[in-house]
Structure 1
Amino acid sequence: MQRGIEFLGSEHAILCGAMSWVSERNLVSAISNAGGFGVIACGAMTPELLDAEIAATKALTSRPFGVNLITMHPGLFDLIAICARHQIGHVVLAGGIPPKGSIEALKEAGAKTICIPPTLALAKKYLRSGADALVIEGMEAGGHIGPVSTSVLAQEILPELSGDHLVFVAGGIGRGDMIASYLEMGASGVQLGTRFACATESIAHPDFKKAFFRANARDAVASVQVDPRLPVIPVRALKNKGTEEFTAKQVEVAKLLDEGKVDMGEAQLQIEHFWAGALRRAVIGGDVENGSLMAGQSVGMVTSEEPVAQIIAALMEECEAALARR
């Protein structure tokens, strides 16, 4: 882990994946204080909200933490300016190819840039564009996912790039034994989200946490696309009434499209609007039936509420024990 530790400035090269509404000041500061590397999920925040969140996090920890920015955010460069003003040392650019000038703007501000490539070709492109590190995330992860598993991505990318570059592995990691395996393959560290979502310090609603404790790996399913005319970005979440209704909604809208009752623009809008605010409803409001319970397949390993420090200590102990056995 040494290269990852030196890069992040943390005690352990364990990043917390950015989870909207969950990865905020309390969880982020707790992870950094426990020796990991917390990352604020900016999501759809305005520059003013991000400014306040960074300031509040700084008040809770003196240790390094990062910020995750969505590349398609209309105010991306304003958000980068906020990160620069706060002298944020690490910024994760997620959700697509970073727009022209974004990596350069972060470098100018003195920040290290982390990108999330879904393929080896894009990994190489991001590095050529100036990315300082990569996170390769497989389809086992929670939230928005790609089509390839973590183990396959790791086999494709780590042997090719980890010798000369910093590569962190994410998706489906719930135990230290698995961390050990990826470190042996050349990873500089790992990223976990689901494992931290129900930590004692997480502000997620008690009912949201209980849904995680009850769930197993098979309950964390990827959203289904019913009609190719109505593209759906796959999201992995716990199945509930909302996920069933979303499938029914797609069938209903496709039928309206066939009958000429709505045009393509309106049809796509109806699909997009279905989940509007659903993540907040689940995480903050505790609506576990209709909200979006984004979770990775490692959810079955989340069985109780534990302090972040305990989670990180257990992961490191398991990792060290696995390496010692070998």
Structure 2
Amino acid sequence: MSEFTKTAALMKRGTDFLGSKYAILCGAMSWVSERNLVSAISNAGGFGVIACGAMTPDLLDTEIAETRKLTDKPFGVNLITMHPDLMDLIGVCAKHGVGHVVLAGGIPPKGSVEAIKAFGAKVIVFAPTLALAKKLLRSGGDALVIEGMEAGGHIGPVSTSVLAQEFLPSLSEDHLVFVAGGIGRGEAIAGYLEMGAVGVQLGTRFACAAESIAHPNFKKAFFRASARDAVASVQVDPRLPVIPVRALKNKGTEAFTSKQREVAGLLDTEGLEMAEAQLQIEHYWAGALRRAVIDGDIENGSLMAGQSVGMVKEEEPAAAIVSSLMEESEAALTRR
């Protein structure tokens, strides 16, 4: 890493933890963060993360095995905490000796963190508030990702820059903190590293990598979009605490509003349990995302994208993206 000396020094705690050349994680994007993109990012020196999403244990088993055929570098697996087969999915990770498991989508259920640590893996958690971050780190989380509302997919209500100012001074000395949300260039990476982050996570910038299996229509939609085209969904019923999702505005974003009304109606008329209602919403997103990413239906599918989408202008190999991010960070730090 001698070519990026200053950036490498600030990333060292992150790279030691991940086992990768650079402390640049790929955000887990359902249907996108699969074997091809994950292996390409890891081979480029970053840290690829398989998006388990709504996969069954058998599908995850195959995905990890196929990823291993494409890279001998470290990569992780992202599991959704509300997945009904979470413990079985953890068992699949144990079978393959996965070194890092990312738990996303809510507070990890009882026993899940312990089950992951039992086979020697590191646990990476998300937290929207400082108090919860401290609790999760006390409860076995080995590293934390703070993700601002600029990110694509499921988001919280606070911007990345504010979260970084709040979390990093309190946590960075004793804990490993990665920053995510709205990062599209290396200058931003340099700034967060200087504030105490040990690395960063990017999703949108990698979604249109040459190795991404996303449909050409999906990628073209990203190339045409500006930051203001990536909008957050709205909650239509206070009883249904749906986590907002940021995506490019299309008929699919309007359909999601209708889906919320439909599920809220089921809460009234059929006594639907809240957990099942939220699961129906998750299944909706999985299907809508597949329509856009795999089938290329960019009108009715979900074009999940962060506000950094305006910086994605062309298809590039993952290695070129990682290299440019490191070069930009190094140049920024050198100018200081």
Q: Which residue of 2 aligns with 1:286?
A: 296
Q: Aligned match of 1:141 in 113, 133, 151?
A: 151
SS of residue paired to 1:39? strand
- Structure 2 residue aligned with 1:41: 51
1:321–1:232 CA distance, 2 compared to 1 (3 A): same
| Equivalent residue in structure 2 for 1:205, among 201, 215, 228 | 215
Q: Which amino acid aligns with 2:305?
A: A
Q: Which amino acid aligns with 2:224?
A: R
Deviation, structure 1 residue 173: 0.2
Q: 1:251 to 1:28 in 2, by over 3 A?
A: closer
Counterpart mapping for 1:1-326 below 5 A: 1-247=11-257, 262=269, 265=272, 272=281, 275=285, 277-326=287-336
One-letter amino acid of the counterpart of residue 21, structure 1: W
**Cα distance per residue 1:9-34 (max 9 Å; x no partner):** 10000000000000000000000000
Q: Report the Cα offset of residue 100 of structure 1.
A: 1.2
Unmatched 5+ stretches in structure 1 = none
Aligned 8 A contact 2:18 2:74 in 1: yes
Question: What is the deviation of 1:107?
Answer: 1.0
Q: CA RMSD in A?
A: 2.0
Work out the CA distance in 2 between the residues paired with 1:247 and 1:276.
16
- Residue 87 of structure 2 aligns to a residue whose secondary structure is helix
Deviation per residue, 1:116-174 (Å, 9 max, x gap): 01110011001110111000001110001111111111111100000011000000000
The structural deviation recorded for 1:227 is 3.3
Question: Cα deviations across residues 31-52 of structure 1 (Å, max 9, x unaligned)?
Answer: 0000000000011111111110
Aligned residue type for 1:283: V
Partner Cα separation in structure 2 for residue 324 and residue 8 of structure 1: 25
1:162-199 per-residue CA deviation (whole Å, 9 max, x = no partner) reads: 00110000000000000000000000000000000000
What secondary structure is seen at the aligned counterpart in 1 of 2:214?
Answer: coil
Percent sequence identity is: 80
- What is the SS of the residue equivalent to 2:79? strand
Could you list the runs of 5+ residues in structure 2 that have no partner in the other structure? 1-10
Deviation at 1:102, TM superposition (A): 1.1
8 Å contact kept, 2:41–2:318: yes
**SS at 1:277 equivalent:** helix
Cα shift at 1:205: 0.3
The question of whether the paired residues in 1 share the 8 Å contact of 2:152 and 2:306 is answered with yes
Change (3 A) 1:104 1:249: closer
- Using the TM superposition, name which of 190-199 and 226-235 deviates more: 226-235
Q: CA–CA distance in 2 between the matches of 1:46 and 1:190?
A: 29
TM norm structure 1: 0.94
State how far apart, in whole Å, the 2-side matches of 1:251 and 1:95 are. Answer: 22
Letter in 2 for 1:147: P
Matches of 1:149 and 1:303, distance apart in 2: 24
What is the Cα deviation at residue 265 of structure 1? 3.7
Specify whether residues 229 and 82 from structure 1 end up closer, same or farther in structure 2 by C-alpha distance, changes over 3 A only.
closer
Q: 2:74, 2:319 → 1: CA distance?
A: 16
Q: Deviations over 1:190-221 (max 9, x none)?
A: 00000000000000000000000000000000
Decide whether the 8 Å contact of 2:30 with 2:286 is kept in 1.
Answer: no
2:54/2:286 contact within 8 Å kept: no
For 1:12 and 1:144, the matched residues in 2 are separated by 25
Query: What TM-score do the two structures reach when normalised by structure 2?
Result: 0.91
- CA offsets per residue over residues 266-324 of structure 1, 9 Å max, x none? 99959837646101000000000000000000000000000000000000000000000
CA distance, structure 2, for counterparts of residue 4 and residue 250 of structure 1: 39
In structure 2, give the amino acid aligned to 1:166: L
1:246 deviates by 3.3
Q: How much has 1:60 moved relative to structure 2?
A: 0.1
CA distance, structure 1, for counterparts of residue 19 and residue 237 of structure 2 = 46
1:75: Cα distance to partner? 1.0
